[in-house]
């Protein structure tokens, strides 16, 4: 098992960031596990990982890392902790009394507003890993020790 910060791939901190505004992304392979970091400009917001079997297609094949990021890009809060964090920490505070009334009446959706926030502001970097265990180890290490000059993720640091 990896124990030091030196094993954290630089790509997750300094690689090219891809905006959620261009989702669905075709460069991410469907299937393999991996680790991703999510950014609001230069601010490190979240680190996540995908095990090998988180989302399966109708044929039973895993969507892996692509499936996890696709779930985040959708803005749907049901079953997606990242989307809940985004809604709670960034979207709710922007709501006007009128918007709240529209949500209560069913004419406006928090999921829609969450998706707009994600696709309008956030970007990600990713790596694939050979195994789910490797992805889990890297994610845990980043949550605990952070990314060199960026520190721990805002939304899901290890305590």
Q: What is the pLDDT of residues 68-91, one digit of tens each?
A: 999 999 999 998 999 999 999 999
Q: How confident is the model at residue 54 (pLDDT cuts 50, 70, 90)?
A: very low
pLDDT at 149: 87
Pairwise CA distance, residues 49 & 114, whole Å: 20
pLDDT at 29: 83
CA atoms within 13 A of residue 124's CA, in its CB half-sphere: 29
Handedness of CA 114, 80, 149, 18 (dihedral sign): negative
pLDDT at 105: 97
pLDDT of 137 higher than 90:
yes
Query: According to the model, what pLDDT value does residue 148 have?
Result: 82
Mean pLDDT over each residue of the chain, to the nearest integer = 89
Say whether pLDDT at 60 is over 70. Answer: no
pLDDT at 25: 75
What's the rounded mean pLDDT across residues 53-67?
62
What is the Cα–Cα distance from 90 to 88, expressed in whole angstroms?
A: 6
Residue 121 zone, left/alpha/beta (φ > 0; ψ -120 to 50; rest):
alpha
pLDDT for 53 beyond 50: no
Between 67 and 86, the higher pLDDT residue: 86
């Amino acid at each position: 098992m990896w124990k030091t910060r030196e094993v954290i791939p630089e790509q997750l901190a300094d690689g090219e960031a891809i905006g959620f505004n261009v989702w669905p992304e075709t460069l991410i392979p469907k299937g393999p596990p991996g680790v991703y970091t999510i950014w609001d400009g230069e601010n490190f917001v979240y680190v996540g990982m995908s095990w090998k079997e988180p989302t399966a297609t109708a044929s039973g094949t895993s969507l892996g890392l692509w499936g996890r990021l696709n779930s985040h890009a959708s803005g749907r809060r049901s079953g997606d902790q990242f989307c809940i964090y985004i809604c709670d920490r960034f979207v709710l505070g922007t709501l006007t009394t009128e918007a709240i009334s529209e949500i209560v009446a069913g004419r406006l959706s928090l999921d829609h507003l969450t998706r707009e926030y994600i696709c309008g502001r956030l970007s990600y970097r990713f790596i694939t890993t050979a195994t789910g265990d490797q992805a889990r180890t890297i994610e845990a290490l980043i949550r605990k020790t952070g990314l060199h000059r960026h520190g721990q993720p805002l939304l899901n640091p290890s305590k």
